[in-house]
Amino acid sequence: FDVATRTLYGVDGTTSDLLRIDPLTGSAALVGVLPMGGVRSLAFEPGAGVLHAFTSTQLHLTIDPVAFSVQAELVGPFGTVGGLAYDPEHRVLWGTEASASGLVRVWEPQAVTLGFREVRALATVGGQVLGFDQATGSLVRVDPATGRAALHVAVGPLEVEALALHP
């Protein structure tokens, strides 16, 4: 979500279409077709005006939604990156690494174990990272310095796959 322009973006998993979605009406407009499929996560970087995405083949995509240009790079020795969240305060793109239940800083090739088995969804606010652990149904707070997670609040038996915080 681009707060400055109030634009919501999404990717159709079947067609690889990058979409601009009207949050009031639900109507979707095509921005462009991504040159590769399997997008698993999406995050917006406000300062640069770009979207970040990860595919099931471990490609990190940087997408300019205005010019519709896409750059792809293979990053890190980690596996499939699930949840993504950009922290504008620290200029860090966070992701969850599914096979090791780790938290990754995308541009630093290491993963650290969160201490929870199934953290998939991430969101950042004020330099803090929050995640949702599927196994315990809990919202967890992640220490950005260590990558370790601590229970924040039990939510319940839900399968939350994505989080977003309104600033």
Q: What is the pLDDT of residues 73-107, one digit of tens each?
A: 887 666 778 788 888 888 888 888 766 667 777 77
pLDDT at 72: 92
Token pair recorded at residue 47: 């300062």
pLDDT at 71: 94
Token pair recorded at residue 24: 């009031």
Distance from C-alpha of 163 to C-alpha of 19, rounded to nearest angstrom: 18
pLDDT at 19: 92
pLDDT tens column, 100-142: 667 777 777 666 667 777 787 788 877 788 888 888 888 888 8
Phi, psi of 70 (to 5 degrees): -130, 130
Does the pLDDT of residue 151 top 70, yes or no?
A: yes
How many angstroms separate the Cα of 36 from the Cα of each of 30, 31, 53? Answer: 16, 15, 11
User: Is 139 in a helix, a strand, or coil?
Assistant: strand
DSSP 115: S
Contact between 10 and 19 under an 8 Å Cβ cutoff? The reply is: yes
Evaluate the CA torsion angle 26, 46, 89, 81 in order and state its sign.
Answer: positive
Chain centroid offset of residue 74 CA: 16
Evaluate the CA torsion angle 51, 52, 54, 55 in order and state its sign.
Answer: positive
Q: How many residues does the chain have?
A: 167
